Structure 1
């Protein structure tokens, strides 16, 4: 997870925007998702298995992208903005692809020029067109780190290169591997990861042999203050 600018003791628990990718290998008999384990000394979710992702950086706003996400994803990313954040849907998508590259070494892109490590060497530009917004969750108050996290589902068929090659990954996630969806819940997972996993599994099953697409609506666990609420983004479209 990228940290962006150094944080002071006063702002470590401030609410930060974040983006996460659930990358799926769609084997009809045994679909699998990519997960890794956070370090035992990590301030946020130590020793837990998670999907690749991290905080949105200011620089993500200027990152050149090769395409755009589907219209529903873009529209729903703009629903219920926070007054303390100026992050844009495009910036969130860019962060998701950057974090995937940093934490796993895997790239989703099209031919082009990009300054991002991994993409630059491969002659690719990040392409968010395969990312579908499926979940949003805000960490409850009182935690040492808090994120307004958007979760995206993507088919591993869009990965450029070998999806088993994690040699360019940073050391933020260990034990990176493709976990059969049927076995993933047996891992040491954070509660919200379990919830998102169930949502992703249902969408994958529902898509059958067709291409993955934006869901009917997007669940949102809103814990920005002491009053917890649950809504469906896009339910009235």
Structure 2
């Protein structure tokens, strides 16, 4: 998956860039106090130590072969295909659901039995009696990590309403130890936490979409390459960033 061609990135840098999926779970979206699910990365983490982040991580090769009970909405698949390898949308959606399960223990899927034995990364999920479903995921943001960082990711951010999650929203007992202090943080308070810059940018985008439950027709792409930073709109126009 790391061989995806990215415009404006040198061949040397391209080998270090990994496709990644991040999931933004939004709770009480239409209420007076909407919340997002976040956790804190460890102090010794190579990427964004100590920062509060959304669940997410790199796409695994096996993600492309995991069946989905339902695919992403067509508009999201179309936006994901812009400046990306063919078929990558499926692996990204699977990665988002897998990362949500691994890092929080929450289930995004439908009741159902797997065909055959699940691979190790999915055995815990399969044991809950669910199949992964991408129907409720909405592709809302894309960001390429700037050059010079210890790790670089071409990250796609997916928004999901918490009421689409099939498990107890406050039960993190099945989570791995990658994120600590997992919690639903009110949007009104989230900027008081230690957040990465890109997370603040994405939160502004999410806040602007609170009342619109439909997938966006145009998706922001914050592209940091060796020459300049670009703020693109996938299926839209390129706007160079200055300053």
TM range (shorter): 0.7 to 0.9
Contact 1:138–1:146 (CA under 8 A) maintained in structure 2? yes
Task: Kindly indicate whether residue 176 of structure 2 is the aligned counterpart of residue 170 of structure 1.
Answer: yes
How far apart in 2 are the matches of 1:176 and 1:222?
29
One of 123, 141, 145 as aligned partner of 2:147: 141
Note the C-alpha offset of 1:227.
2.4
Q: TM-score, normalised by structure 1?
A: 0.87
How many equivalent pairs are there? 218
Q: How far apart, in 2, do the equivalents of 1:57 and 1:93 lie?
A: 11
How far has the Cα of 1:111 moved from its partner? 1.9
**Consecutive unaligned residues in structure 2, runs of 5 or more:** 1-11, 238-243
Please identify runs of 4+ aligned residues in structure 1 that moved more than 3 A.
none
Query: Which residue of structure 2 aligns with residue 55 of structure 1?
Result: 58
Contact 1:107 1:118 survives alignment (8 Å): no
CA distance in 1, matches of 2:144, 2:123: 29
Structure 2 contact 75–217 (Cα < 8 Å) conserved: no
TM-score (norm 2): 0.85
CA RMSD of aligned residues (A): 1.8
Contact 1:141 1:226 in 2 (8 A): no
Residue 236 (structure 2) aligns with:
235
**Separation in 1, partners of 2:94, 2:204:** 25
- Structure 1 residue 117: deviation in Å? 3.4
1:228 Cα offset (Å): 1.7
User: How far, CA to CA, are the matches of 1:143 and 1:32 in structure 2?
Assistant: 30
Decide whether aligned partners of structure 1 residues 76 and 86 sit closer, same or farther in structure 2, where only a CA change above 3 A counts: closer
Matched with 2:41 is 38
Matched, 1:74 2:77: yes
